[in-house]
Structure 1
Amino acid sequence: MKLTISGYSTALFATWYLLEELGILMDAGDGLTAALLQKSRKINYVFISHADRDHLTGLLQLNQLNAREGFPVICYPRDSKSFPAMEEFLKKFDPNTTGVQWKAVAPGDEIWVKEDLVVVPIRNEHVTTDKNIIRSLSYKVMQVKQKVKPELAGLPASALKQIIMDKGKESTTMEVRTNLVGYSGDTPVADLQRWDQSGILIHEATFLASEGDVKMIAHKNKHSKLEEVMEMISQISVQQLILGHFSSRYSAEQIDRSIKDLCGKYAINIPVFRLLPGLTVKDILSGDPVNK
């Protein structure tokens, strides 16, 4: 499936990504409706990774322009109290947004956005909490298909038809899920296999420096470093990589040079795209990868 992905992602300021054909918005930072204009009306589902303001303040204008009965559906980490407060405020501030659905989600939930498309929340490590408290999430967008069971694949059509008549169609098929898009949200790399077999992975890479060069503050939320992301990619199967959420302390030249150097170091040959600080990119995958 060809996807048109547009976005903006600068650490501290704003992050959002539109998966246009799917009607899905990942995070909702400031400025998204000004950049998307009428395309913002294609958004049916919004998946928020966490309650940092640079990931949610675009919801006010999005809902004002896009609210209708039952949509958009805004999914957020189950134990984040910011979203119920925001819902209550918006319903008072703008009664026209009362049709919007606010949905608390957690790992184990499945949000069906189309008959063959489900979004699965994944706990991540951005916010340090007890394991039962969910305040930060990543997401997988999975395409779901029914395929004939391998043991029945060689049977003639007449035989399959007979089995269906005798035992029902469900006895002949199995569900197959394909990870179309993985979205990390803000998080350090903790599980090297989490994004294996992703068609497209959108991953944050706030810092270019190694761990020793970045001052990490224990009580602050945690982010990825570019090298740990690229090392992870070298060990799993991902078809295309989009990097974002870079700190504005880095220049475009620093970012691109670091990506190219790490692609060489880890022998990464898949297309790698990036969102530079301060720039909105429309149809990211139609551009040239950094490592072409």
Structure 2
Amino acid sequence: MKFNISGYSTALFSTWYFVEELGILFDAGDGVASALLQKARKADHVFISHADRDHLGGLLQFNQLNARDGYPILHYPAHCGSFPAIEEFTKKFDPHVKGTVWKPVIEDEEIQIADHLIVKAIRNEHVKADKGIHKSFSYKVYQTKTKLKSEYASLPQEKIKQLISEAGREALSEIVRTNILTYSGDTPVDDYSKWDNSKILIHEATFLGGKDDDRINKHGNKHSNLDEVIKMVSEINIETLILGHFSSRYSNEQIDEQIKKLCKEYSIKIPVYRVLPGQIHRDILRGQPVNQ
């Protein structure tokens, strides 16, 4: 499936990504409702990575425009106290949003959002928290399919029908999961296996690298450097990379030049797209990859 992914992501200011075919909004930074207009109504599920204001500053407007009975469903890290406070405030400020569902999520929880779609919450280390305390998540989207077990695949169709009638379809089948999309949220690069075998990876790359960037990244919540992200991608299996959350200190030319340089250095052959600071990017995957 070719996804229509739109987004805006500028460090400190606002981040959101909307995957139209899945009805999923990742994060809800400032301006998301005005950017999506009526399309925002298609976002039945909102997955918030953490409680930094640049990732939830547009949530109130998005919710008051789109709330109805049972939707949207807002998923957030369970131990971020900001969300219960926002829920309480919005229900007083905009009484018509009472139908919105607020769902705290814990590490490794799997949320069924459609018959064949599951979203899994993955702990990341952007916000320092003790084990068992959930403050910052990445999210992985899995598509599930029921498939005939390999030991039966070569049997004649009539024999398969006979076995199904005798033992039931479930006995001959298995569920196959494919990681169709992963959203990193804000996170340092650490465990490569979190992102391996993702068909599409949306990953932050706040800093381009250098001594000043390294110094800044040692303070406060942790982010990724572009060179670390590209190195990681060179060692795992993904099909498409979308980079965002760049600091506005960099020009568009600096960002593109560094992406091209690192893709060449690490022999990256997959398409690499980027969301430039201060720009809404619509239908990102229909654009021209930076490295091609």
Q: Answer whether contact 1:211 1:225 (CA < 8 A) is retained.
A: no
Cα deviation for residue 215 of structure 1 reads 1.3
In structure 2, do the counterparts of structure 1 residues 217 and 201 end up closer, same or farther at CA, with 3 Å as the change threshold?
closer
Cα deviation for residue 259 of structure 1 reads 0.2
Q: How does 1:114-193 map to 2 (within 5 A)?
A: 114-193=114-193
CA distance in 1, matches of 2:162, 2:122: 41
CA distance in 2, matches of 1:211, 1:175: 47
Choose 107-116 or 171-180, whichever is displaced more. Answer: 107-116
Deviation string 1:67-92 (CA, Å, 9 cap, x unpaired) is 01000000000111110111011001
CA distance in 2, matches of 1:134, 1:145: 30
Corresponding position of 2:245: 245
Corresponding position of 1:91: 91
Corresponding position of 1:16: 16
Q: Answer whether contact 1:123 1:138 (CA < 8 A) is retained.
A: yes
CA distance in 1, matches of 2:204, 2:213: 18
Question: Could you say what secondary structure the match of 1:193 adopts?
Answer: helix
CA distance in 2, matches of 1:213, 1:32: 28
CA distance in 2, matches of 1:218, 1:21: 38
Structure 2 length normalisation: TM-score? 0.98
Corresponding position of 2:53: 53
CA distance in 1, matches of 2:145, 2:63: 32
Corresponding position of 2:77: 77
Corresponding position of 1:100: 100
Cα deviation for residue 217 of structure 1 reads 6.0
2:6 is the alignment partner of 1:6? yes
Cα deviation for residue 95 of structure 1 reads 0.6
CA distance in 2, matches of 1:69, 1:91: 13
Structure 1 length normalisation: TM-score? 0.98
Question: Could you say what secondary structure the match of 1:98 adopts?
Answer: helix
Q: Answer whether contact 2:217 2:223 (CA < 8 A) is retained.
A: no
Choose 159-168 or 200-209, whichever is displaced more. Answer: 159-168
Deviation string 1:120-160 (CA, Å, 9 cap, x unpaired) is 11000101111111100000011000100011111112222
Cα deviation for residue 218 of structure 1 reads 5.0
CA distance in 2, matches of 1:208, 1:218: 15
CA distance in 2, matches of 1:253, 1:243: 15
Runs of 4+ in 1 over 3 A off after TM superposition: 210-213, 216-219
Q: Answer whether contact 1:11 1:246 (CA < 8 A) is retained.
A: yes
CA distance in 1, matches of 2:129, 2:36: 35
Paired AA for residue 107 in structure 1: E
Q: Answer whether contact 1:33 1:61 (CA < 8 A) is retained.
A: yes
Deviation string 1:85-116 (CA, Å, 9 cap, x unpaired) is 11011001101100000001122311111100
Structure 2 gaps, min length 5: none
Cα deviation for residue 211 of structure 1 reads 5.9
Question: Could you say what secondary structure the match of 1:214 adopts?
Answer: helix
CA distance in 1, matches of 2:150, 2:58: 46
Q: Answer whether contact 1:143 1:180 (CA < 8 A) is retained.
A: yes
CA distance in 2, matches of 1:280, 1:272: 17
In structure 2, do the counterparts of structure 1 residues 23 and 213 end up closer, same or farther at CA, with 3 Å as the change threshold?
closer
Deviation string 1:240-291 (CA, Å, 9 cap, x unpaired) is 1000000000000110010000001100011100011000010001010111
CA distance in 1, matches of 2:189, 2:33: 30
Question: Could you say what secondary structure the match of 2:262 adopts?
Answer: helix
In structure 2, do the counterparts of structure 1 residues 210 and 98 end up closer, same or farther at CA, with 3 Å as the change threshold?
same
Corresponding position of 1:254: 254
Cα deviation for residue 192 of structure 1 reads 1.3
2:216 is the alignment partner of 1:201? no
Question: Could you say what secondary structure the match of 1:180 adopts?
Answer: strand
CA distance in 2, matches of 1:233, 1:202: 11
Coordinate RMSD, CA, aligned: 1.1
In structure 2, do the counterparts of structure 1 residues 210 and 58 end up closer, same or farther at CA, with 3 Å as the change threshold?
same
CA distance in 2, matches of 1:199, 1:266: 19
